[in-house]
Structure 1
Amino acid sequence: MRLPFFISLFFTLFLFPAQQKKVEMSVFYESNEYELTKEQKAEIINFLDKPNLENIELYGFADTLGNIQANQRISELRVAGVKELILEWYQNVLIITKASGEKQHQGVQFDNQRRVDIVLTYQLEKHEKKIKKIEPIEDVKDSTTKKVQVPDLSQRDVFYETFGSSDRIVIENLLFEPGTTDFLHGNTPNELYYLVDLMDSIQTMKIHIEGHVCCIDDKKLSKERAKTVYFFLRANGIDKSRMTFKGYSNSSPRVKELTKEDEKLNRRVEIVITER
């Protein structure tokens, strides 16, 4: 027997609710400052990388010093700066903004009052795709390995020579945690730092970033991994006009997948020089 429409709607809305999640971060400022630093931009870009974004709320605040009008203005500038950064990547997401010049609770420290709160609402994926386990690279011993802060320069010349003699390079150790866009064990490959340095020194160079996966067709994941590299380069000062990116799923394997090592080689990002 077919259920009446209103009962069917009830089941849809209440037995199968959307898996909605909210997360929040705060960006803090020095007194009378409103421009974002390069490090803050990188943190915000990484924070925005969530699936199925529904809306973004921005709340700007100033400290308890000064008058309400001045505090209102600095709060608005802080919110405007964050909104401008977000719009570079997400033009089709609803952004709700509110800037307050009113004095906050006196017990809150000044450096915690001068901030913009960013609240993201997004939909969780209904089903997490099963991705085969990525084998760790040889020099990673365990998951507690710290993220590289100062890149190892021992292979930089080799990297430069490769770009000098070829228009395409495979970043061999650019691996990710299974099913995510997080670098494996939180380690940023040295080659990405080399690429930033190279593009800084050759201002005419433009590149196309290709994302690839192994094993199964997953164009979205391949694109998101390519975009992760794109965001890294943007956060380190490379202008967006010099880069494009695209995901190619598993349509262009390097090798035929017969072993786990073959699969590892196909989980990659390739950089193509489009202009020198």
Structure 2
Amino acid sequence: MKRGLKIVFFLFFGALTAQINTVKSVYFELDKFSLNQKEINQMVTLLDSANFSRFKAIYLYGYCDDRGSLEYNDKLSKKRVAFIQNLLLSKGYAQNKIFICEGRGKVVLDKDTVINLKEVRDKNRRVDLILVKNVFYTSIPEHPKIGDNIVLERVTFEMGSSELSLNAKKELDRTIVLLKKHKTLRFEIKGHVCCTSRKNTDGIDKETNERNLSENRARNVFNYLRSMGISPYRMSYKGYGNQFPLGKGDAQDRRVELFVTKL
């Protein structure tokens, strides 16, 4: 992508308060992944108002506008996320709270249908900070919001296993009905384990004999949803090991969750 284009630089900070989460967005100049000192000060002022102590976790997602190659924008979005992560840590925010740092590349547009293309592109060059309270839904709510965390209580696993049980598939079938109702909802599938030693953050999958049990649980849910007609472009998956116990017993910690990333 060519640099040196004559554009006006905008730095926007926005906040959307949901029932249990807060989303704050930092917007970047074309081709840039860093902020100058004045902009950093603006961001710190904004973050001070968020009262980080109220939140249990912070997720960072980076985006680019639709110009440039996929490879270029993937790298740029990751650099934007890394910059914000390092800035948070350097300012004393979010110690031990940042659990997701993900660059998601370009936001694809149909330029023929966008009314204000420049404004839309300005707002697509951003990093979203999703501040999450430790509150969960047990199914997709009627009016889902970015940052909603859905614990599928019947989608649990046998010790050391990533295979879906019949009850788990029935619960996923009910979830699929809701996912087809909310057709634009995008989400991450989060896999979890229980009962590991202190030195090991993930469990061994007895089906593969590899220490990636939480990821395999999330992947198997991903594959099942895809086989039942849910587009793979709407979802991603990741294993979180033993980082997020619910405190409801080992069985409930051998679980998956759906985390809403986009509406």
Query: Normalising TM by the smaller chain, what interval?
Result: 0.3 to 0.5
| Structure with greater strand percent | 2
TM-score (norm 1): 0.37
TM-score (norm 2): 0.38
| Structure with greater helix percent | 1
